[in-house]
Amino acid sequence: MEKEEKSSSIEQQMAEQVIFQKVNDWLGIELVENAKIFVGNTFMQPDFYSKADGIIGEIFAHIGKPKKAQDNKISNDILKMLLLEKIEGKIYRKIIVVCDEDEMKKLKGTSVLAECIRQFDIEVKMIEIETDLRDTLIEAQKRQRMVNA
Amino acid sequence: MEKEEKSSSIEQQMAEQVIFQKVNDWLGIELVENAKIFVGNTFMQPDFYSKADGIIGEIFAHIGKPKKAQDNKISNDILKMLLLEKIEGKIYRKIIVVCDEDEMKKLKGTSVLAECIRQFDIEVKMIEIETDLRDTLIEAQKRQRMVNA
């Protein structure tokens, strides 16, 4: 949510843009992208947000079985959603959008993260993306793995 | 907290062991190390825990300014502490133990993570470690950076 620390590839950011539009269509409202929400002396920037409709959400444009670092990223975003609720004293509709069946399975499965998702009422929504975009994402992930290997 | 996914170096694990003993002395009670706490169909294993005294905590044996991945790991552990409270309907004393001034500064600073720590009443405790152990940790981190570079 903190854009200054964004480490995703350009392909991932492009995919997130495509998915953001699809989320707008799905919810039928105009969401704000990367809204600055001030908390204490800093701010967070969720992938999508609507104050009027009480929605906060994050998009995960990752393909394939997620690793621990990706799970931790999701935990970090959930914690921030809970922080927003705590600070505003208001319940939000909290949504995590994924574009891959393996990611979906993980978040709906038996892990502690999946249990957090159930207990804290986080909605997990699967949005289909086109095969070309999917292939582009897979290639970008391979490249990142090579760099990080 | 999920030991099967532990990726820290042997040096870090040794340091955590030393710090665990110091935490016992500090709190003056006998804590359980890596207790299995069942949540849903899985379990979490915090670094230290006492059901009777209502304490859950994690130890971060990292030296120097933390990176985003380390922050996310802390977020993940805080989220699990909140999950435990939610499931048991009971407030725990939630503690994060660090052994470095830079880490302490980050967690007490102006980041969103620091705001989460304040808002969710997470205690951050600094435990001093010996210079030799500190140097060993710094060497191990350098080695890990080289592997991941």
Whether A148 maps to a domain, the answer reads: no
For residue A2, is pLDDT > 50? Answer: no
pLDDT of residue B65: 85
Say if the Cβ atoms of A83 and B120 lie within 8 Å. yes
Dihedral over Cα of B136, B137, B142, B146: its sign: positive
- Backbone φ and ψ for A40, nearest 5 degrees, come out as 60, -130
Q: Tens of pLDDT along B8-64?
A: 789 999 999 999 999 999 999 999 999 999 998 899 999 999 999 999 999 999 998
By CB neighbour count within 10 A (0-12 exposed, 13-18 middle, 19+ buried), where does B8 fall?
middle
Which residue of B44, B69, B114 is in closest CB contact with A112? B44
User: Model confidence over B90-147: pLDDT tens digits?
Assistant: 999 999 999 999 999 999 999 999 999 999 999 999 999 999 999 999 999 888 876 6
Report the distance separating Cα B41 and Cα B30, nearest Å.
28
ipTM confidence: 0.90
What's the rounded Cα separation, in Å, for the pair A100 and B89?
34
Q: Comparing A4 with B30, which gets the higher pLDDT?
A: B30
Give whole-number Cα distances, A125 to A42, A62, A114, B89, B106, in Å.
29, 14, 13, 28, 33
Nearest CA in chain B to A109: B41
Residue B114: CATH number of its domain:
3.40.1350.10
| pLDDT higher than threshold 50 for residue A1 | no
Kindly provide the b/e burial profile for residues B118-130, where b requires at least 16 CB atoms within 10 angstroms of the residue's own CB.
eebebebbebebe
Neighbours of B101 (CB within 10 A): 12
- Say yes or no for a CB contact (<8 Å) between A69 and B72: yes
Least confident of A43-47, A69-73, A143-147: A143-147
What average pLDDT score do residues A52-58 get?
A: 97
Query: Nearest-CA distance from A116 to chain B in Å?
Result: 6
Q: Does B1 sit within 8 Å of A115, measured CB to CB?
A: no
Is the residue at A39 inside a domain?
yes
Residues of B in contact with A148 (CB under 8 A): 148
- The residue range of the domain holding A44 is 3-130
In a domain, A40, yes or no: yes
**Residue A66: predicted pLDDT:** 85
In a domain, A141, yes or no: no
Our count of domains for chain B comes to 1
Residue A102 lies in a domain: yes
Residue B116 and residue A83: Cβ atoms within 8 Å? Answer: yes
CB nearest to A68's CB, from B5, B79, B80: B5
Taking CB atoms and an 8 Å limit, are B79 and A116 in contact across chains? yes
Among all residues of chain A, which has the CA nearest to that of B68? Answer: A5
A64, part of any domain: yes
Exposed / middle / buried, residue A145 (Cβ in 10 Å: 0-12, 13-18, 19+) = exposed
Residues from chain A that touch B78, judged by Cβ atoms under 8 A, are: 79
Residue B62's SS3 state is coil
